Structure formats: structure tokens, C-alpha cells
Amino acid sequence: MPELPEVEVTRRRLSALLAGRPVRALRVYERRLRWPVPRTLAAILAGRRLRQIDRRGKYLLWRFEHGVLISHLGMSGSWRVYPPGQIPERGPHDHVDLSFDTALARLTDPRRFGALLWHPAAEGDVERHRLLSNLGTEPLEPGFEGAQLFAALRGRSASIKQVLLAGDVVVGVGNIYASESLFDAGIDPRVPAQRLSRARCVRLAAAIRRVLGEAIEAGGSTLRDFTGADGAEGQYARQARVYGRDGSECPVCGRPIRRIIQGQRATYWCARCQRR
């Protein structure tokens, strides 16, 4: 599943090629994504200049003067970009082509849980859109720090691992990144979120930023590749220190990495390095 680092890498790649360019055409081959792609979308976008692409959580916000195109990659989606004249034949899972004079952006999504929606400027700030209004803090932006995390965890009795995954405190900390961040911060993934001290929240916030930043860098190493849009998570998994490594030696203390299930998701951790 595409996670925040992968979406951020995609955003950077799309922005570099498409920002500032007018849309030539939008072709929708399959409207049935998680929600139907609006029938009027091609007419809404034709000839309009894309100002910039922002990201909120795992949503890409394609900003135009008259509104925002909201896209999400769902479980299996990806945007690929092709230079004019080098566009491959469309495959069965290629559902949308958004063409500019500089490149074609193609949305591929085998499982079709992705989304492509339009938010007109007349409806106000896109941050208040129903899909975006309940998202937690952006971990890579200045507002996310230990004191803020500490305050947000008050009254949360679920385990810190599960609260991180829930996305309403902080967005984009997927399963790999939750295990890695808690290892980095030396925190037992089972500890109730509200029990974490302020000092440990400071360490955890820093660990989350570091782990996500490294994953973006890992995915960003393929940024020069014109077409590739997936892989940040896959690339990062190779350099993960505990995720997927149960039975291997902890890179810090040498004890075996453990695997447990929390909320039906696997957690990997070191019982010596990570304390309650």
C-alpha cells in the first residue's frame, strides 16, 4: 500500500514535470474507483493551468485557480509520468490519463480503491473537505513536535503503536514506519499512549521525522527515473532495522527481533532496547 513517503516522492516527481503547465486533456477509461470519477472532470480541467501540487496525508492536492483536484492512491495505485512520444500502450489497470504538453500522467490502480475528485474553489478551503478535515498533524511540518504529540496523546489508552497507525494524531505513519520509529525512540510498542512522558514524546516525534525522511530519501533516489512512481516503501523496507526481521539479531543489542500482532497488524520490536 502506498504510504506517505511514496506519495511525497510521487508529488515531487509530478510537480517537477507538471506544475505551471496547462492541462491538455483528461481521459477517464474507468470511472469506478473508490468513488466515481466525476463525469464533468474533463471539461473542468481542459486548458486550465496547474499551479502546484501539495500533499495532505496521503492525498495529493492538484491546485488550479478554480479548484483542487484531489487524488488518492488507495491500496495499489500509482501515478506514472511519460514524456510525449514515449507513451506505452494502455494496460487493463490504467484508468486515467491526464495530459500536459510536457508529459502525460497516468493513474494505474489494479484494485481501484484510489480516488480522483474535484473540489471547486467556490466551496471554500480544501482542508475542510470531508476527506481531509479529520486528518492528524503533518509529521514533516513544523507543527509536529514532542510537546504537541504529548498533548494529543492525553486520554488515549490504546497502545502507542495503534494510536500512531490510527492517523488522527499524526498522519502517514504506516505499519513499517510505526515499528521503525518506536524502535528508534526505544519505546515498547505495547505501552498505552497516554503513559508516555513528555521527554519520550520528544524522542518519538524526532524518530518519526527521521524515519519518514529516510524513506523519502530512499524513494527519492529514483526521482531521476522519468516513469517510476512506486517503490519508496519497498526501497525503505530493505533498510528497515526491525520491520520484517523477526528472529534476526537486533542491530543495537544483538537479541532476536520479536514479532507480535496488535490490532491485526504485525509489530516488530526488540524487547531489550524498547522499554515501557
What residue ranges bind Zn ion (CB under 5 A)? 250, 252-253, 270, 272-273
> Where does residue 154 rank: exposed (0-12), middle (13-18), buried (19+ CB within 10 A)?
exposed
Please identify which of the residues 24, 203, 259, 265 carries the catalytic annotation: 265
The Cα-based distances of 86 to 81, 89, 223 in angstroms read: 10, 10, 18
Query: Which candidate, 273, 272, 269, places its Cα nearest to that of 190?
Result: 269
Nearest to Zn ion of 56, 245 (CB atom): 245
Q: How many whole angstroms from its chain centre is CA 38?
A: 24
CB-closest chain residue to Zn ion: 250
Which one is catalytic: 11, 58, 161, 241? 58
Classify residue 153 by burial, with Cβ atoms within 10 Å: 0-12, 13-18, 19+: buried
Distance in Å, CB of 245 to Zn ion, minimum: 11
Least Cβ distance, residue 255 to Zn ion (angstroms) = 5
Name which of 125, 119, 90 is nearest 104 in CA terms. 90
Report which of 92, 66, 71, 97 is spatially closest to residue 82, judged by C-alpha positions: 97
Which H or E element spans position 91?
Answer: none
Let me know if 3 is a catalytic residue.
Answer: yes
> Of 211, 203, 137, 210, which is closest to residue 174 (Cα–Cα)?
211
> Considering the complex, what minimum distance in angstroms separates the CB of residue 253 from Zn ion?
3
Nearest CB to Zn ion, comparing residues 19 and 252: 252
The CB density around residue 168, as the number of other CB atoms within 10 Å, is: 12
Closer to Zn ion by CB, 198 or 272: give it: 272
- Minimum gap (Å) between residue 162 Cβ and Zn ion: 22
Region of 54 on the Ramachandran plot (φ > 0 left; ψ -120 to 50 alpha; else beta):
beta
Q: Does the annotation count 265 as an active-site position? A: yes
Min dist. Cβ of residue 75 to Zn ion (A): 32
229 vs 273 by CB, closer to Zn ion: 273
- Shortest separation between residue 251's beta carbon and Zn ion, angstroms: 8
The contacts of residue 115 (CB under 8 Å, 6+ apart) are 33, 34, 35, 70, 71, 72, 74, 131
Which CB atom, from 115 or from 257, has the smaller least distance to Zn ion? 257
Strand partners, 268: 259
- Residues involved in catalysis: 2-3, 58, 265
